[in-house]
Amino acid sequence: MKLFIRVIFLGWLVLVFSRLTFSQISSGGTPWSFSQKIDNPIFVAPSQQELKFIDTISKDCSAMEFGRFLPVNISLKSELWQTTKLPNGDYVYRLGVFSEGAKGVGAYFRDFHLPVGSTLFIYSPDHQQQIGAFNHLNNSAGSFFATSYLTNDSIIIEYFEPKEVSGQGTFVLADILHAYRGVGETIEEKGFGGSGNCEVNVNCSEGYGKGNQRDAVLRLLIRNGSSGVWCTGSLINNTSEDRTPYVLTADHCGKNSSEEDMLQWVFYFHYQSSGCDNPTIEPQLKSMSGCVEMASSSNAEILGSDFFLVKLIDEIPAEYNPYFIGWSREGSVSNSGYSIHHPQGDIKKISHYTTPLQSTEYDNGIVNGFWQVTWSATENGHGVTEGGSSGSPIFDSEGYLIGTLTGGQASCSALTAPDYYGKLSVHWVSNGLLANQQLMPWLDPLETGALKMNGIYLGVNEAELLRDDMFQIFPNPTSQGVNIIFKEMNETLQIQVIQVNGQVADEFRGSPGEPAYLDLSSYASGIYFIQVSSAKASQMKRLIKI
């Protein structure tokens, strides 16, 4: 058995490192200035003229504006940079940006090109937050680059250039994102985006057995001109199962974005609490930037069914290991199911329905192009949708995506008001005759005519490795510990925690039908495998420690 495990691990590691070679998002490391006794650079302050037009907080499930893009337009050649020539001929450039009143600040670049050997970091003045290093692997054909935000009103940008490539690096800090709400703030213990107190975290009991669907849902930071808005999207599988990074969201989220704007969209993976309770520290941000539009309902004469399909411009890092969701275009009424979403840009939530969906029209859209849903109370709350939930998937009881959120009136103060989801069956071919008005050419490139499609993980898919479902683990990913629930059997079980190199990190006994808790607080972040064995069978599941 151990030999078999190591063969699987070797194949998986090859997959990981082959993907990382081409899709590294951040290479880590420490900025040069962190080891120096050096003052902070000069801070520039962009004009806040755009902030005079801030809208009110969204009360429905539309796209939620949470920030504005403020122009800066500072090139690397500007005298505003603090430039240091090191004794060996290398150069370090540093620039500070301060935006008064910001709850978060992100950096957006154009004409972006980093030579091999150079690095770019962004960090807070107190060095408590840092992203990077970014390097030549972050160069893109469009020459745009966007970073995640830091939860601060100030950032420092630090660029290191070796003497061998001196003068070859070019970029312009075009804009900064000034986030004025829904970023890095715990509001009345509701979560980091301040969603309503009726919402249910995805890793509560309501989310058990729905880990695949959870791992497909992404938070989207969308640039629409000078506005930054939160929406929700999901990675979606296609019939070739080639893991093309298609993300499906709502048309009203993306239709006002230019091609340049879309190259600066930011996609957040696994932005969720590790357990049922709201975390005291914001979850680690795992992100990518940049996409291109593939198809949407924007060209329909009316609203259409409100879908927007994009493709990420870079490969997804293997360590993110998201799920590409399965879908159904049968169009039959679902009697029960759920939605997973990011209300108010908050950590991931789950909402359930237990009454049949209704086929209807919405806001001058296609007749019978939408599912009307009424949400139900569950063990830990009464999940609904809010601003920022737009574009989120609705699932049937089997976990197939059957629609994307368009709008509605549901909220924590209107728990039984209806919401409306554009039908995937209508997205398929009903918005127009062109490929850029349909999902079919992209999700069925093999022209199979499939009515349903299962999902698949980016890396090792549990279904490809495992036998009968002997146990469940949750939450996964986790930052602290994991619960293990065993299937009812009349045997003592052996449980092993196996490292990615095949070594057994821990081993203990379990009782059938009785839950166990495994404390992982002392474990390093990374990927592990939980193996449960009886006298007759053995099963392994992958676990991510964050």
Tell me, what amino acid is at 542?
A: R
Task: Answer yes or no: do 159 and 240 share one domain.
Answer: no
Domain assignment of residue 472, yes or no: yes
pLDDT tens for 46-105 read 988 777 655 544 444 567 888 999 999 999 999 999 999 999 999 999 999 999 999 999
Task: Answer yes or no: do 418 and 495 share one domain.
Answer: no
pLDDT of residue 463: 40
Count of domains in the chain?
3
Q: Residue 533 above 90 pLDDT?
A: no
Lookup: tokens for 355? 């009454």
How many helices (H) and strands (E) in the chain? 7, 35
Residue 369 zone, left/alpha/beta (φ > 0; ψ -120 to 50; rest): alpha
pLDDT of residue 252: 93
Task: Answer yes or no: do 498 and 374 share one domain.
Answer: no
CATH number at residue 531: 2.60.40.3080
Q: Please name which of 86, 155, 145 lies closest in space to residue 124, comparing C-alpha atoms.
A: 155
pLDDT bin (cut points 50, 70, 90) of residue 277 is: confident
Task: Answer yes or no: do 396 and 541 share one domain.
Answer: no
Of the candidates 148, 234, 389, 390, the residue annotated as catalytic is 390
Residue 314, domain extent: 205-457
pLDDT of residue 279: 82
Q: Residue 110 above 50 pLDDT?
A: yes
pLDDT of residue 188: 43
Tell me, what amino acid is at 9?
A: F
CATH number at residue 373: 2.40.10.10
pLDDT of residue 90: 96
Most confident among 53-57, 182-186, 519-523 (mean pLDDT): 519-523
Q: Residue 217 above 80 pLDDT?
A: yes
pLDDT bin (cut points 50, 70, 90) of residue 535 is: low
**0.75 exceeded by pTM:** yes
CA atoms within 13 A on the CB side of 416: 3
Range name among 9-13, 59-63, 396-400, 420-424 with the lowest pLDDT average: 9-13
Task: Answer yes or no: do 532 and 496 share one domain.
Answer: yes
pLDDT of residue 190: 40
β pairing state of 526-533 and 493-499? antiparallel
DSSP 260: H
Domain assignment of residue 408, yes or no: yes
Indicate the residue among 397, 427, 457 that finishes a domain: 457
CB-based contact 267:253 (threshold 8 Å): no
Report the SS3 class of residue 213.
helix
Q: Residue 2 above 80 pLDDT?
A: no
pLDDT bin (cut points 50, 70, 90) of residue 192 is: low
Domain assignment of residue 196, yes or no: no
Please list, in sequence order, all residues whose beta carbon lies within 8 angstroms of the beta carbon of residue 357, skipping any fewer than 6 positions away. 333, 334, 335, 337, 371, 372, 373, 394
Paired residues of 106 in beta bridges = 177
Task: Answer yes or no: do 431 and 470 share one domain.
Answer: no
Of the candidates 62, 227, 234, 252, the residue annotated as catalytic is 252
pLDDT of residue 470: 73
Indicate the residue among 179, 196, 220 that finishes a domain: 179
Percentage of the chain beyond pLDDT 70 is: 85
pLDDT of residue 193: 64
Domain assignment of residue 197, yes or no: no
pLDDT bin (cut points 50, 70, 90) of residue 194 is: confident
How far from 492 is each of 177, 193, 468, 511, CA to CA, in Å? 56, 44, 17, 6
Q: Residue 539 above 90 pLDDT?
A: no
pLDDT of residue 21: 29
pLDDT of residue 542: 83
pLDDT of residue 57: 46
Task: Answer yes or no: do 365 and 503 share one domain.
Answer: no
Domain assignment of residue 8, yes or no: no
Euclidean distance between CA atoms 96 and 123, whole angstroms = 10
Extract the runs of DSSP E, i.e. beta strands, from 64-204.
64-75, 82-85, 91-98, 104-113, 119-123, 130-134, 145-146, 154-161, 170-179
pLDDT tens for 134-151 read 999 888 877 899 988 899
CB-based contact 325:307 (threshold 8 Å): no
Q: Does residue 306 carry a catalytic annotation?
A: yes
Q: Residue 267 above 50 pLDDT?
A: yes
pLDDT of residue 507: 82
Of the candidates 60, 306, 346, 444, the residue annotated as catalytic is 306
pLDDT tens for 457-503 read 987 544 443 344 677 888 888 888 888 877 655 566 778 888 867 77
As a whole number, the mean pLDDT across the chain is 85
Q: Please name which of 423, 424, 385, 393 lies closest in space to residue 200, comparing C-alpha atoms.
A: 385
Top pLDDT among 514 and 429 is at 429
Task: Answer yes or no: do 453 and 472 share one domain.
Answer: no
pLDDT bin (cut points 50, 70, 90) of residue 14 is: very low
Task: Answer yes or no: do 280 and 175 share one domain.
Answer: no
Report the sign of the C-alpha dihedral through residues 340, 341, 346, 351, in that order: negative
pLDDT bin (cut points 50, 70, 90) of residue 25 is: low
The pLDDT of 280-301, averaged and rounded, is 86
Tell me the backbone φ, ψ of residue 95, rounded to 5 degrees: -145, 135
The pLDDT of 324-348, averaged and rounded, is 96
Helix (H) or strand (E) holding 440: helix 440-443
How far from 523 is each of 227, 283, 519, 520, 545, CA to CA, in Å? 41, 17, 9, 5, 8
Task: Answer yes or no: do 255 and 398 share one domain.
Answer: yes
CB-based contact 123:131 (threshold 8 Å): yes
Task: Answer yes or no: do 451 and 536 share one domain.
Answer: no
pLDDT of residue 59: 45
pLDDT bin (cut points 50, 70, 90) of residue 281 is: confident
Domain assignment of residue 5, yes or no: no
Q: Please name which of 252, 43, 77 lies closest in space to residue 157, comparing C-alpha atoms.
A: 43
Q: Please name which of 272, 257, 127, 254 lies closest in space to residue 192, comparing C-alpha atoms.
A: 272
pLDDT of residue 189: 40
pLDDT bin (cut points 50, 70, 90) of residue 520 is: confident
Lookup: tokens for 92? 């370090």
The pLDDT of 308-331, averaged and rounded, is 93
DSSP 228: E
Q: Please name which of 398, 395, 450 lies closest in space to residue 428, comparing C-alpha atoms.
A: 450
The pLDDT of 409-413, averaged and rounded, is 94
Lookup: tokens for 161? 């250039």
Euclidean distance between CA atoms 471 and 485, whole angstroms = 5
Indicate the residue among 430, 457, 484 that finishes a domain: 457
Q: Does residue 427 carry a catalytic annotation?
A: no
Q: What is the largest CA-CA distance in the chain?
A: 74
Q: Does residue 390 carry a catalytic annotation?
A: yes
pLDDT of residue 282: 82
Domain assignment of residue 74, yes or no: yes
Domain assignment of residue 310, yes or no: yes
CATH number at residue 158: 2.60.120.290
Q: Residue 361 above 60 pLDDT?
A: yes
Task: Answer yes or no: do 154 and 220 share one domain.
Answer: no
